[in-house]
Structure 1
Amino acid sequence: MRLPLWLRRRLPGYRPPPERWAHMELPYTGDDVVVVDCETSEFDKKKGQLLSLAAVVVSGRSIELSSALDLTVRSDAITHPDAVRVHYLRQEDRIYGVASADAIQQFLDFVGNRPICGFYIEYDRAILNRYTRELYGFELPNRFIEVSEIYVRQKRRYIPEVNLDLTFEGLARDLNVPVIDRHTALGDVVSTALMFIKLQRHSAS
């Protein structure tokens, strides 16, 4: 849920975005959604360092791949072995990436005030907010959408007690969506975008 601006401004610790991104607080009136995924050095939202970041716009039933954001972040962070086994981003793979500050700046310019969507989006939200706080002193004011929550609401509308496989692969399988380059940021955003489109189609039917 996105809090009204007047209420956000009354919250303790509230800080507005700098002028460059002041428009992010304005209500969004379009139909686009930005699907986001982050890969990090470890699976801890308080410590994980950003290693890659991807975002793609979903406009209606179209995925705007030609304008997708797909960034590898230059980082000397020591990567937890479990994380490497998932996303395969070793330290030597990140030598020619962009600086984390540049990645966040490009992301903020890309997303604007559009809603942000993802799978396990609270993790990505926490990582991105940590960086925006450190760099610019504010947190993302955008509305956030969790794909698995839409899925659960639709499934339990008809069978309240149904057991659901809420893994990424489980949703993809049930929605008949291809899993594309799993655990690469761009692959995950494309698969998640396809899930979102399928779920929106079901809700409209």
Structure 2
Amino acid sequence: MLRRWIEERLPRRMLPEGRWSHLADPYDGDEVVVLDCETSVFDKKRGELLSVAAVRVRGNQIRLTEALDLTIRSDAVTDPKAVRVHYLRREDRMEGVALAEAIEKLLDFIGNRPICGFYIEYDRAILNRYIRELYNFKLPNRFIEVSEIYVKSKRRHHIHEVHLDLTFEGLARDLQVPIVERHTALGDVISTALMYIKLTGFGPPR
């Protein structure tokens, strides 16, 4: 049923096929993948992928020993402002993996699990741009935005979002979650995973 729902809303050519067809299958497991991307500029249409990290979360456990943490081999011109944020200089990237290899590893790591993140629509747009170029489909996975769960939890206590600090640092402070190596892909993933665990009470949101 889920696959039919997806097929009705995505052009046929945008559905994963062959090796990746299972990505559109219903997920009946108990894991969520938290991911984060760092890019050359802060623009989902122009930003080039420089690094990506992902961890699987099951219940209250972050499976950190299995984490994916990849730097992309890229000579992309980077916005100086972006470099001051993620510290990925050109010389730091030369020992990274090829882009196609990174996307392949990421898709294998995610499978058909739900994908969670902070400002996940940005990561989704960046990844879909490359996946579309390489494999001619877009990620059909369910996406979960941590800040949306946070806002919903506050509304239950009659706190309107206009009174909330919805920055990454604001959520971390309110949820008493440590900020781990901010603006490194893996550091942001760990902090976001901790936010997700706190907000969902060790389970996927309903």
Shared fold, TM over 0.5: yes
Hey, what's the Cα distance between the residues in 1 that align with 2:20 and 2:66? 20
Q: How many residues align?
A: 202
1:1-205 matches, within 5 Å, as 4-11=2-9, 13-15=11-13, 16-161=15-160, 163-201=163-201
Hey, what's the Cα distance between the residues in 1 that align with 2:17 and 2:96? 26
1:110-161 CA distance string (max 9 Å, x none): 0000000000000000001001000000000000000000000001111243
TM-score, normalising length: structure 2:
0.94
1:165-205 CA distance string (max 9 Å, x none): 0000000000000000000000000000000000011889x
Hey, what's the Cα distance between the residues in 1 that align with 2:114 and 2:19? 18
Amino acid at match of 1:5: R
Hey, what's the Cα distance between the residues in 2 that align with 1:89 and 1:107? 20
Hey, what's the Cα distance between the residues in 1 that align with 2:89 and 2:12? 37
**What's the Cα RMSD here?**
1.6
Question: Is this contact kept in 1: 2:73–2:95, CA < 8 A?
Answer: yes
1:1-29 CA distance string (max 9 Å, x none): xx932132234633221311111110000
Q: 5+ unaligned residues in a row in structure 2: which ranges?
A: none
Q: 5+ unaligned residues in a row in structure 1: which ranges?
A: none
Question: Is this contact kept in 1: 2:60–2:202, CA < 8 A?
Answer: no
Among the aligned pairs, what percent are the same residue?
Answer: 66
Cα 1:202–1:156 shift into 2, 3 Å:
farther
Hey, what's the Cα distance between the residues in 1 that align with 2:202 and 2:96? 39
User: SS in structure 2 opposite 1:9?
Assistant: helix
Hey, what's the Cα distance between the residues in 2 that align with 1:35 and 1:12? 24
